[in-house]
Structure 1
Amino acid sequence: MAKVVYPCLEDLKYEEEVLRNPFSLKLWWRYLVARRNAPLEKRCVIYERALKALPGSYKLWHAYLAERLDGVRNLPVVDPEFEALNHTFERALVTMHKMPRIWAMYLQALTEQGCVSRSRRAFDRALRALPVTQHGRIWELYLRFVRQEGVPIETSLRVYRRYLMYDPGHIEDFIEFLSNSGLWKESAQRLASVLNDDQFYSIKGKTKHSLWLELCDLLTKHAKEVSGLNADAIIRGGIRKFRDEVGSLWTSLADYYVRRGLFEKARDIFEEGMGTVVRVRDFSIIFDAYSQFEESMVAHRMETLELGVEEAGPRESGPGQDEDLRLGVDASDFEKKILKGFWLTDDNDADLLLSRLEHLINRRPELANSVLLRQNPHNVEHWHRRVKLFENNPSSQILIYCDAVLTVDPMRAVGQPATLWIAFAKHYEKHHDLGNARVVFQKAVQAQHKTADSLASVWCEWAEMELRHNNPKAALELLRGATAEPSVEVKRIVSADGCNEPAQMKLHLSSRLWNFYVDLEETLGTLESTRAAYERMLDLRIATPQIIISYALLLEEHKYFEDAFKVYELGVKLFKYPHAKDIWVIYVSKFIGRYGKTKLERARELLARAIEMTPANWVKPFYLQYAKLEEEYGLAKRAMEVYDQATKAVPNNEKFSMYQIYIARAAGILGVPRTREIYEEAIKSGLPEKDVKTMCLKYVDLEMSLGEFDRARGIYVFASQFADPESDSEFWNKWHEFEVLHGNECTFREMLRIRRSVAASHSMTHFVECGGLAGKRAEPDASVASDGDAGSLGALHRMKRQKSGV
């Protein structure tokens, strides 16, 4: 052993150097490096000699302690080497007490050895020895030490509390430690204090929202352990602050009371939550939790009853004992109570629990509708849906209607608030309570409305209700009062008020109300009252074209023809096209039907004025009516002038049909030859090419009927420029037949020449449009054309010979 520990011959030169200068760190380090492969015992002797000469060398102490630590790495903690190691650390700290690395090595070694008290004292000494700026390195090891198994909880708590005095920002770690250790009360208190601190910043990136949820979860799951805290106030504070998690927070609060055994209080919380949330998602969360709670209560009670029946065992059956046997209790054990048909005792309330669950499920539509109304209490459709939910409860429907008409603001309403008033009144009418229905309508017409049409709908429904119940006079009086203009004093008050003008001030201008009123006057009133109503509408300038026509027809029905025509005149002055079209048509038809012959000049003036004021798209019927008037009662010459004017006035798409009518009437009145001028005028009037060609063919038929074959041929020549031989073979076939029957060789050749010329012209046009490809294909070959012409001429001669032979 001595041979290994003491110096040998190879160490002689290093021994001489260190003996010559024992205070040189460099020489001792060279010695240690040279003997890096020597056994640990020998190196420890060299370290000890070096540290005896240089006790303040950090480098030597660190290297020495590191090698000693490596030497005991695989030894059991009960080995004496660990005690020697600890003694070495203590000797090192005599001079190295300001070195955090040495303290860290020592503390880590003690932690691994499991020496709780010794480690705790060493950590405390380290914190006292080192400056505050170096405490972070020690606290990291200290916290790791107190989280180990075997360290007493009280020790860990005291260490963590001291650490928070050093760094309060790591309170989340303390809270996590408390939760892992089962110290729920202090964990909740610390978490609540964090949430109350407005300057708190989470080093783990957690938000106040997530911390609130953690606190609520802790309070609900460990309600009994944290009973010292006001969990109700804490969770309610979260409900007010975090609107996105209202549903889950309400369920957490209810769960808190459930875990404490306060079931009635939990039900109150569920009801309060469903009655305050404004989102359907939150309502669904609370309702699902509430229903699960009730189901669990029922299941628990049923299990208890079944267990009670098993424990009770068989009994002698007798009168009145079957129910006791089923419940597993004796009738003498409790006092029977009756509440709404249920038998309740201190131990058995299964029927009540089942009833509560059923009642909750049946209330779901009502509760969901309440949530929607809290979102927007001015939504009319949701109020109507709420009324339908209580279809079998008229009293509840009345209360809902009252709440609706008092809550809905017409200026902010979604939908028509007037429908609520109307439905309210119809509800009373349905139950044969007309008195209250009239009271509702009376309040409705005095209430605020956004528009006059909304208020008018209420008046109309009121009048219709009176009509349904055989009270037409009351309906008429209602509408007369509704259409009356507000008094001057009321107008002055409203203008002085400076606010928005109420709908009642504009009610007398509602066309809907006036239409209903005049219909009612026509049915129930007199002619004078009806005329007064129509005249009032005209004075207020709220009459429509239909009102004008209805008024005129009313006067005509009572033989006031001139007054009816005056109404028509007023109508055509008030309205422009296209609204005046129906008035003009009926006006002209009625006037001509009555005064067409006796007042011809006046009818002519009326038609001329109608034609002047009518746009071209609608003027054709008036021209035809004018021409018919002249044909029946006037002069044929004037009728032809009207037709001629019509052909120039109508739009291009109607000119062809107008010319056809003109030609037909001219042939019947003036004779067929006089139509030549019309045909020529039509051909030159700018008709579309298709219509020009058709007109030319009709002109040809006319000339052929008159035996003017040369004129017909000239028309064919003119019309040929509009007929492409490739696409319009019908035209050329007709000309071909015409030349076969009435032509000669020269005219036939001329027809063929014109056909080739037209085909070439159209081919060139097609060539220009299509890039030149089609043009080359369309060029006729001279030899082919000649053969074709010869063949056509031969056919001509054969047909003529056949004709002469016949």
Structure 2
Amino acid sequence: MDWDLDNIFSEDDINFESSLLKDPHNLSVWLKYYRSVPESNIKLRVLILRRATQAFPRSYKLWNLYLSLRISISKKTISSYHSVNEEFERALVWLNKFPHVWMKYLDFLVASMPFSFSKSITFIRQAFNRALVQLPTTQHHLIWESYLRFADDIGGLTGVQVYKNYLKFSAPVDLQTSENGITISEVISKLVDFGGISVSLEVFNEVFEKYESDYYNMEISQLQFLTDYVEDLISKGEGSEDVGIIRDKDIDLLVQMGLQKFPDQISKLYLLQTKYYSSTNNFPKAKYLYDKGLKECFTVRDFVTIFDSFVEFEESVIEEMAGSGEEEASMETNLGLNVEISFLEHLLDSRPLLLSDLLIKQDPNNLDEWFKRISIYESQNDINSALTTYAKALTTINPFKAHSLSKNQSYTLPQLWIKYANVYASNEDYNTASIVLSKSIQSQFQSPDDLVTLYIEWSGLELKAGNDKKAVEIIDQGCTFVPDDDGESDIAYDDTSLTVHMRLHKSIKLWTYYIDLLESFVDTGKPEEISKVCDAYEKLILLKIVTPLNIINYANFLEEWNLVEKSFTIYELGLKMFRYPVSFEIWNIYLVKAIAHGVEIERIRDLFEQCLAECPPNLSKPIILLYSNFEEKNGLLLKSIKILKAGIEKLKKEEESQTKGHQTILSELYQVLIVKQIQLNDVESVRNTFEDIFNSSVHLLSANQLIDFGLKFIDFEASHQQYNRGKSLFKFICELKPPQDLQVVWDAWENFELSHGDENTFKDMLRYKRGLYSKYEQEIQSKSTPIGFVRAKSPTVIKEPTKVEAKPENPDEIDLEMD
């Protein structure tokens, strides 16, 4: 500083100067001297503080006053800038461990940067670095705050280098939350902003690898961290040659990292990748990635997201090409536009198939999706693709895991084989269809029923093709496939520990089809043809899988070819194998057949007695009636009646079986018995039967049944002029139900009195009727009125139904006293 000292000092300053000459190391004198100088005398104030710092070079207080004063009076010139810098450098010789001196210096450098010399940016960066070197690490955060602001203002290569250094010297805790400063996510974003793509990639990879260890304790998820970074690269990552530029392979690598880490976010990641290539106008690569994403996604949500985005992308490309502004588009442009339109149409048409690919990939054993995919090709008349799908499905599906979520009965693995063969059969290519079905039976299935279905379908195909002999051989092969002839009958059809092929010969469905097939070829009654059918039935019995229906069919077959006695033997065999109630139908048919073929009477009687000895009461009625009718047709009506009585007595003893059905059977047998007794004109026997119904079986029959028998008994007695007995019977049956439910009985009694009674008996009937109503009313009131409560003054009365009396045929009116 070239200042004129004569013009600076005043007479008042002489005393302070004299004091300082005597004691130049008295700090209080320097401070009093400084404070005594008016603020307007800037030069003297500067001179005093400069001399004071020379006397006390380690005094932070003096240097702080001095530097602050120099900054306040500095001008925006290069010389002024240098002058202040020199003073700061002089201060730092002694105070290089004071962070606030460095902070003041660095703030001045940054503030003076716009009007400093051209190399000031490098100088300032070096000053920040010197501060970090001189100060302990515990105080670095005081410097980094300004240093990062400086980097934000400068950007570019300097900004990248500053942030790179910040990451080297900062602790992880400083990069975890915004409360402690700038987060690691923000650092990476800054690097991208400054064009430091390669550096940002290095930092990102390091953080991504340590994400799960909580090394950085990130506030956002790892997926969000990845997507935010890729978004930054796409929107701002143009980069520079010095610190790297964004490359296609970098984006691809980042997306692949995400796909490996988050396979359930495939749509989000692929759309980020396509967004990048769309922004760089690399449309072929974007299309490729859309298509790849559709094929690799795992959920319907991802599929819909990618597909809709793909369609929007194609529409935007077409719109851009169509609206390019060219008045006369070139041939190449028109061709490209047509290609894009065709591609979009194809994309929309292929949506069902693409979605089918996804659903099959999700669950390759879901038969619903395979059948739906085939139906799509069939609707498009694409037979070749349908056949390819059949073949792929049958080689992909695990037979033991095949299932139909829709529970559609036609969506089964056997049906898949059958439909595959029918494609060829529908074009009369029976040979190929037969080859398909021959391969199907070599596969494994969850149940032998599946294999049976295929055998039957294959046989039916050969029948349709006219190969009758082969059709029989196919089923014969399935029925005789036995792993061990000695133990074939011990194999259980539902034993899942054995393969379906080992259990196939125990399928009643397959044997039934086989026998029906053999019977259809017995046209001429040749012994060898009949014998083959019989052998099949015998094998069925030997395998212990025969059913009552098989027994009946076997016997009918023998009867059809006049082997009646042998058919009876089969009935007998079936009765030994099956017990009631299963054997009931066999007995029913056997007895009818024996009677029809004129078997001797005693043998038939023995069969009836054997049948009834074991027959449950609820099944005995048709057997009893058949037996009774058989004796009646042979002229033995009394024996017929005896059989009915024996059957009734047996039913009466079955007290535990008194159900509604049991009562019906007993009622019907009584009715048949009465009819047969009336045929004999045995009045006493009929009367005894009616009396037995009322005296012994009140608890066996229902009230309605007893009333019905009572009315018939009354008609019977009236037909024999036993009117008093009839009246007594009316009184008896009127006690069986509430009087209001006996309208049929009252009407019948009234007609009885009009036909067979007189005025007095008619009155007696009316009095009895009123008495029953009154008694029933009292019983109802006594049940409905609790003890301790007062009965209502006007109780509800069950009124006797109003009856319009019929006019007698004679003109004289009968006057009935109703009192």
Q: TM-score, normalised by structure 2?
A: 0.71
The equivalent residue for 1:688 is: 702
Cα–Cα, structure 1 residues 113 and 581, in superposed 2: closer, same or farther, change >3 Å?
farther
The equivalent residue for 2:171 is: 167
- The one of 263, 266, 273 equivalent to 1:246 is 266
Superposition pairs of residues 388-537 of structure 1, within 5 angstroms? 388-391=375-378, 392-414=381-403, 416-486=412-482, 488=484, 501-525=498-522, 526-537=529-540
Cα displacement (A) at 1:651: 0.8
The equivalent residue for 1:354 is: 341
The equivalent residue for 2:670 is: 659
Superposition pairs of residues 184-203 of structure 1, within 5 angstroms? 186-198=199-211, 199-201=213-215, 203=217
Q: Please say if residues 378 and 408 of structure 1, whose CA atoms lie closer than 8 Å, have aligned partners that are also in contact.
A: yes
Superposition pairs of residues 322-361 of structure 1, within 5 angstroms? 327-328=329-330, 349-361=336-348
The equivalent residue for 2:573 is: 570
Query: Structure 1 counterpart of 2:514, which letter?
Result: Y
Cα displacement (A) at 1:250: 2.5
Cα displacement (A) at 1:242: 0.8
- SS of the residue corresponding to residue 735 of structure 2 reads helix
Cα–Cα, structure 1 residues 747 and 295, in superposed 2: closer, same or farther, change >3 Å?
closer
Query: Structure 2 counterpart of 1:227, which letter?
Result: R
Q: Please say if residues 724 and 762 of structure 1, whose CA atoms lie closer than 8 Å, have aligned partners that are also in contact.
A: no
The equivalent residue for 2:359 is: 372
- The one of 676, 687, 694 equivalent to 2:687 is 676
Query: Structure 1 counterpart of 2:392, which letter?
Result: D
Query: Structure 1 counterpart of 2:576, which letter?
Result: K
- SS of the residue corresponding to residue 441 of structure 2 reads helix
Q: Please say if residues 628 and 640 of structure 2, whose CA atoms lie closer than 8 Å, have aligned partners that are also in contact.
A: yes
Q: Please say if residues 107 and 119 of structure 1, whose CA atoms lie closer than 8 Å, have aligned partners that are also in contact.
A: no
In structure 1, how many angstroms separate the alpha carbons of the residues matched to 2:600 and 2:112?
130
Report the number of matched residues: 695
In structure 1, how many angstroms separate the alpha carbons of the residues matched to 2:453 and 2:389?
21
Confirm or deny that 1:721 pairs with 2:735: yes
- SS of the residue corresponding to residue 205 of structure 1 reads coil
Query: Structure 2 counterpart of 1:276, which letter?
Result: E
In structure 2, how many angstroms separate the alpha carbons of the residues matched to 1:759 and 1:589?
56
Q: Deviations over 1:366-388 (max 9, x none)?
A: 22222222122223333333333
Cα displacement (A) at 1:730: 4.8
Cα–Cα, structure 1 residues 524 and 739, in superposed 2: closer, same or farther, change >3 Å?
closer
Cα displacement (A) at 1:409: 1.9
Query: Structure 2 counterpart of 1:516, which letter?
Result: Y
Cα–Cα, structure 1 residues 201 and 591, in superposed 2: closer, same or farther, change >3 Å?
farther
Cα–Cα, structure 1 residues 200 and 103, in superposed 2: closer, same or farther, change >3 Å?
farther
Confirm or deny that 1:560 pairs with 2:573: no
Question: Structure 2 stretches of 5 or more lacking a match?
Answer: 1-26, 28-38, 41-51, 53-60, 115-120, 176-182, 239-244, 405-411, 523-528, 652-660
Q: Deviations over 1:59-116 (max 9, x none)?
A: xx9xx99xx9xxx9xxxx99xxxx9xx9xx999999999999x899979998998989
Q: Please say if residues 159 and 194 of structure 2, whose CA atoms lie closer than 8 Å, have aligned partners that are also in contact.
A: no
- The one of 222, 227, 233 equivalent to 1:213 is 227
- SS of the residue corresponding to residue 400 of structure 2 reads coil
- The one of 771, 783, 800 equivalent to 1:756 is 771
Q: Please say if residues 151 and 158 of structure 2, whose CA atoms lie closer than 8 Å, have aligned partners that are also in contact.
A: no
Cα displacement (A) at 1:427: 2.2
In structure 2, how many angstroms separate the alpha carbons of the residues matched to 1:691 and 1:771?
35
Q: Deviations over 1:652-671 (max 9, x none)?
A: 24433432333222222343
Confirm or deny that 1:592 pairs with 2:602: no
In structure 2, how many angstroms separate the alpha carbons of the residues matched to 1:141 and 1:646?
116
Confirm or deny that 1:711 pairs with 2:725: yes
Q: Deviations over 1:203-260 (max 9, x none)?
A: 5521112222223434555676411853223212221221211123233334434444
Q: Please say if residues 725 and 759 of structure 1, whose CA atoms lie closer than 8 Å, have aligned partners that are also in contact.
A: no
Moved more, 625-634 or 394-403: 394-403
Question: Structure 1 stretches of 5 or more lacking a match?
Answer: 1-22, 24-39, 42-51, 53-60, 311-326, 330-344
Cα displacement (A) at 1:142: 6.1
Cα displacement (A) at 1:471: 1.9
Query: Structure 2 counterpart of 1:506, which letter?
Result: R
In structure 2, how many angstroms separate the alpha carbons of the residues matched to 1:294 and 1:193?
37
The equivalent residue for 1:387 is: 374
Q: Please say if residues 189 and 229 of structure 2, whose CA atoms lie closer than 8 Å, have aligned partners that are also in contact.
A: no
- SS of the residue corresponding to residue 734 of structure 2 reads helix
Q: Deviations over 1:629-674 (max 9, x none)?
A: 2222253233223323444527124433432333222222343442
Query: Structure 2 counterpart of 1:529, which letter?
Result: K
- SS of the residue corresponding to residue 718 of structure 1 reads helix
The equivalent residue for 1:643 is: 644
Cα displacement (A) at 1:352: 3.3
In structure 2, how many angstroms separate the alpha carbons of the residues matched to 1:543 and 1:521?
17
**Percent identity (aligned):** 27
Query: Structure 2 counterpart of 1:283, which letter?
Result: F
What is the RMSD computed on CA atoms of the aligned residues?
5.2
In structure 2, how many angstroms separate the alpha carbons of the residues matched to 1:508 and 1:500?
16
Q: Deviations over 1:155-214 (max 9, x none)?
A: 654554444322333312212434555655544443333212242456552111222222
Cα–Cα, structure 1 residues 491 and 552, in superposed 2: closer, same or farther, change >3 Å?
closer
Q: Please say if residues 193 and 237 of structure 2, whose CA atoms lie closer than 8 Å, have aligned partners that are also in contact.
A: no
In structure 2, how many angstroms separate the alpha carbons of the residues matched to 1:379 and 1:430?
26
Cα–Cα, structure 1 residues 716 and 229, in superposed 2: closer, same or farther, change >3 Å?
closer
Cα–Cα, structure 1 residues 459 and 770, in superposed 2: closer, same or farther, change >3 Å?
farther
Q: Please say if residues 511 and 542 of structure 1, whose CA atoms lie closer than 8 Å, have aligned partners that are also in contact.
A: yes
The equivalent residue for 1:276 is: 296
Q: TM-score, normalised by structure 1?
A: 0.72
Q: Please say if residues 421 and 436 of structure 2, whose CA atoms lie closer than 8 Å, have aligned partners that are also in contact.
A: yes
Query: Structure 2 counterpart of 1:601, which letter?
Result: E
Cα–Cα, structure 1 residues 660 and 136, in superposed 2: closer, same or farther, change >3 Å?
farther
Superposition pairs of residues 785-796 of structure 1, within 5 angstroms? none
Confirm or deny that 1:616 pairs with 2:617: yes
Cα–Cα, structure 1 residues 656 and 114, in superposed 2: closer, same or farther, change >3 Å?
farther
- SS of the residue corresponding to residue 470 of structure 1 reads coil
Cα displacement (A) at 1:521: 0.7
In structure 2, how many angstroms separate the alpha carbons of the residues matched to 1:202 and 1:585?
89
Cα displacement (A) at 1:799: 9.1
Q: Please say if residues 246 and 282 of structure 1, whose CA atoms lie closer than 8 Å, have aligned partners that are also in contact.
A: yes
Cα displacement (A) at 1:592: 2.4
Query: Structure 2 counterpart of 1:424, which letter?
Result: Y
Q: Please say if residues 104 and 141 of structure 1, whose CA atoms lie closer than 8 Å, have aligned partners that are also in contact.
A: no
Q: Please say if residues 666 and 674 of structure 1, whose CA atoms lie closer than 8 Å, have aligned partners that are also in contact.
A: yes
Q: Deviations over 1:349-398 (max 9, x none)?
A: 33433333333333332222222221222233333333333333444333
In structure 2, how many angstroms separate the alpha carbons of the residues matched to 1:139 and 1:760?
112
Query: Structure 2 counterpart of 1:373, which letter?
Result: I
In structure 1, how many angstroms separate the alpha carbons of the residues matched to 2:745 and 2:106?
115
